[in-house]
Amino acid sequence: MEIEYFIGLGLPPKDQAFFNRLKRDNQFNNRPLSSPAHITLLPPFEERNEALLIASLDKWAADQTSFSLKFKKIAVYKHLKYATLVLEPTQSEKVKKLKLSLDKWLGWPLKERRLFRPHLTLASRVPYFKLEEIKVSVRALELRLELEVEEVILFRRFLGSQWTKYHFSPFSV
């Protein structure tokens, strides 16, 4: 059975509950999202050596320093047949620097992830004819998120199943 991973940041408990409820109530999504609310740093990938990945992630995280991050910018990622609505960080240079450091540390080819921007997904697979209506509804919520970034989380799933928080790699300071 194939296993996929992605790396992200967790949310404070109050915000985790709110965004999970937003996803569960399926207010904006055509289908339920398959992961707990999170900020994606590195999109899904496959890895053959899980133990080595975890050890490498822990070693990298031990050299990282905590920082504050605020999210309030609503953005739209357009795809061929649909769109994704996301919340992006206002001080994106901090989280972009973290993502680039992790990419470099893992030594993976950056080509396919170069344009990827860390974000919190609000609605996925939105048909273009519903996009404006959903954007208005999302903006009306005046969503804000503030968090202290102190660790990264390795999420894992067996293909076709739900994502789970699998391993936590804390920062040193």
Using a 10 angstrom Cβ sphere, with 0-12 exposed, 13-18 middle and 19 or more buried, the burial of residue 77 is: middle
CATH number of the domain residue 86 falls in: 3.90.1140.10
pLDDT of residue 168: 95
Q: What pLDDT was estimated at residue 114?
A: 57
- Residues 131 and 98: beta-carbon distance below 8 Å: no
Tell me, what's the pLDDT at 165? 92
d(CA 101, CA 19): 27
The per-residue pLDDT for 52 is: 92
The domain total for the chain is: 1
Strands, sheet with 151-158, edge to edge from the N-terminal-most edge strand: 39-45, 3-9, 151-158, 164-170
What residues does 155 pair with on adjacent strands? 6, 165
Residue 42 is predicted with a pLDDT of: 86
List per-residue pLDDT tens for the chain, 173 residues long. 689 999 999 888 778 777 777 766 656 665 556 677 788 888 888 888 999 999 999 999 999 999 888 888 888 888 888 888 888 888 778 888 898 899 888 886 655 555 678 888 888 888 888 888 888 888 888 888 888 889 999 999 998 888 999 999 999 86
Full domain range(s) for residue 47 = 3-170
Output the pLDDT for position 84. Answer: 86
